Amino acid sequence: MTTGQASVVTSERFSKGIATFKEWMAVITQHQDLFQNHYEGFEPNPDDVAAFKRAVEKHGVKALILGEDWCPDVWRGLPVLCKLAERTGMEVRIFMRDQNKDIMAEFLKDGEFESIPTIVFYDKDHRYLGHWIERAKLADEGLKQIRDEAFPSPMPERGTPAYDAVMARYRDLSIERAEPWRQAQVKEMRELLEKALN
């Protein structure tokens, strides 16, 4: 987040976001099946649920999510936060990145990249606590391993059936192996919040 400047995310702006996973599913135009797959496939750890619930009850922790429905990291990461919010009473608001570039500009990865999902945490007074971007470190490592397994050298030409088959295998493997990455996302977000609140 940029320092020394007022955020464009006021309490009023925050309140205008999409409020639930169900509402998100109703407004997106593609990949509902992949979002649903990741939502149904994720079961939060009870200890993490308890920790987030304490943060919500004591500090009024709430979260803003920036995403787009075409992004594989969003398919995986947004359902995790939404299900965690449902289990803990955390207020969530979801914004489409490409319609909210001014919000995205405050949370660029490495000050440069519009990486999503971006999940921004605030307290009950709408004070910024921190933000989490894109995917867990464990997912970075896992996706590299899948690329090494699934991508031939050279890659087939984009737009060909062979290319589509390679990408379908990559996507299927990333879904099959996603559960530890989802849990790692929760751990990283929990660490971020505990550091901000203690």
**What pLDDT score was predicted for residue 5?**
73
- Extents of the domains making up the chain: 11-197
Q: How many other β-carbons are positioned within 10 Å of the β-carbon of residue 83?
A: 21
Q: 55-75: per-residue pLDDT in tens?
A: 999 999 999 999 999 999 999
**What pLDDT score was predicted for residue 63?**
98
Residues in the chain: 198
* Superfamily of domain 11-197 in the CATH hierarchy: Glutaredoxin (3.40.30.10)
Query: Whole-model pTM?
Result: 0.94
Q: What is the dihedral of CA 97, 166, 38, 181, to 10 degrees?
A: -90
Mean pLDDT per 10-residue segment, the chain (198 residues)? 75 97 98 95 97 98 98 96 98 98 97 97 97 97 95 95 96 94 98 96
What are the beta bridge partners of residue 98?
Answer: none
163: Cβ contacts below 8 Å, ≥ 6 apart? 155, 156, 157
- Let me know the angle formed at the C-alpha of 44 by 47 and 37, rounded to the nearest 5 degrees: 175
**What pLDDT score was predicted for residue 110?**
95
**What pLDDT score was predicted for residue 4?**
55
